[in-house]
Structure 1
Amino acid sequence: MNDLAYPVAATDYPLLNIFWTMLWFFLWVVFLMLIFRIFADVFRDDRLSGWGKAGWTIFVIVLPFLGAFVYLIARGKHMGERDMRAMEKRDEQFRAYVREAAETPERTSAEELTKLAELKNHGDISDAEYERAKTKILA
């Protein structure tokens, strides 16, 4: 009998094989994430020359497992430091943007008095309210 003629049932693939398949799949995903992280670190490093970047890139592409492990041993400590500096720089840029966006432009006393006079002329505030606000602005 030809084994290809019969469909494969779920019972033909034991639970332990499913576990090992998932384990290898997730290890492969973790390895790919590590490779992309190494490439990002290589091209982010300003102290590394162009030849150094090319050398590490070729090494990691040609011998991925060995290249990744050698890179982590040789430059792993500084990867975290570069990430921290980049994160601090992004955080400071974000805080500066928020400070800039949250600033309210300073109005001069003349602008405030003009606005107050318009409110009084439109009848939005009474004469007493106008005088109190005017005294507060001029003080």
Structure 2
Amino acid sequence: MSFWENFWDIFWWFFTACVFFAYLFGLFAIIGDIFRDHGLSGWWKAVWIFFLAFLPFVTLLVYLAARGDGMAERSVERARRDQDEADSYIRKVATPSPTTEIAQAKALLDAGTISAEEFERIKSRVLV
């Protein structure tokens, strides 16, 4: 065998592998979109899954042509919702500002819960 025959065999193998992985990515994206779409009835979901099982490539193209815009909108809405949830969680668990911590420590000092030395220790830790 010559180098070029091996080269084209390798090229064809990589090309086929890339097409196969792209197909799998599209297939799983569409299956995920089908089950996330609350506007689609159960029967329509079953029909799409049936055709994806028996005419996968054609059904994938038809689904993208027929419902691609809605798929993109649902994806953007989900990303926005996930970002809002992450931001909310971060705000909830984030440490308070130094001013807030000192004010809380001062309130504890005024209430007699902590001593002046503890207040100074908290203040020096927060200001560092």
What is the SS of the residue equivalent to 1:40? helix
Aligned residue for 1:16? Answer: 8
CA RMSD of aligned residues (A): 2.7
Offset at residue 60 of structure 1 (A): 0.8
Counterpart residue identity of residue 14, structure 1: N
Q: Is 2:68 the partner of 1:76?
A: yes
Report which structure shows greater RCO (CA 8 Å, sep ≥6): 2
Aligned residue for 2:29? Answer: 37
Q: Which runs of 5+ in 2 are unaligned?
A: 122-128
Which structure is larger by alpha-carbon Rg, 1 or 2?
1
Q: Deviations over 1:86-131 (max 9, x none)?
A: 00000000000011112548738541333663418xxx78xxxxxx
Whether contact under 8 Å (2:109, 2:116) holds in the other structure is no
Given candidates 87, 96, 105, the residue that maps to 2:88 is 96
TM-score, normalization by structure 1:
0.70
Find the aligned partners of 2:4 and 2:90 in 1 and give their Cα distance: 59
Q: Which runs of 5+ in 1 are unaligned?
A: 1-8, 126-139
Q: Is 2:108 the partner of 1:111?
A: yes
TM-score, normalization by structure 2:
0.76
Matches within 5 A, 1:44-63: 44-63=36-55
What is the SS of the residue equivalent to 1:107? helix
Find the aligned partners of 2:51 and 2:73 in 1 and give their Cα distance: 23
Offset at residue 73 of structure 1 (A): 0.7
Q: Could you tell me the percent identity over the aligned residues?
A: 30
What is the SS of the residue equivalent to 2:17? helix
Aligned residue for 2:77? Answer: 85
